[in-house]
Amino acid sequence: MTTRRKFTSKFKTKVVLEMLKERSSLAELAQKYELAPQQLSNWKREFLNGAEDVFEKGSKNKKDPADEEKDQLLKTIGKLKVEVDFLKDALR
C-alpha cells in the first residue's frame, strides 16, 4: 500500500509555472516529477482560476494589520464595557 503524498503550494506553483513555459510536454513533466498528467492539469486549472485574485485590492485572504488591530481593540472595548456594567450592577 502506498502512502498519499502531500505537496506544498510552493512546489505546485513551481511545477505549474514550468508547465506554462511550455518547454516540456505534459507527459515529460509528469514523468520528471513522478506525477499523473491529470494531477498536473488539475493544478494548472486551479492556478489559472485563482490568478485573477492576485491583483485584487483588499484581498479576502489577507487582512490589513491596521484592521486586525482595530478588531482587537473593539473586542477589548466590548469586554471592558461588560465588566463595567457588571460592576455597576454589583454596587447597586
Number of H helices, E strands in the chain: 4, 0
How many domains would you assign to the chain? 2
pLDDT tens-digit readout, 21-56: 999 999 999 999 999 999 999 999 999 998 888 888
What's the pTM? 0.58
Quick one: 11 and 40 in the same domain? yes
Indicate whether 32 and 67 sit together in one domain. Answer: no
What b/e readout covers 58-80, taking b as 16+ CB neighbours within 10 angstroms?
eeeeeeeeeeeeeeeeeeeeeee
Containing structural domain, residue 14:
7-53
- pLDDT-derived band at 63 (thresholds 50, 70, 90) equals low
Q: Does the residue 15 lie in any domain?
A: yes
Tell me if 58 is assigned to some domain.
no
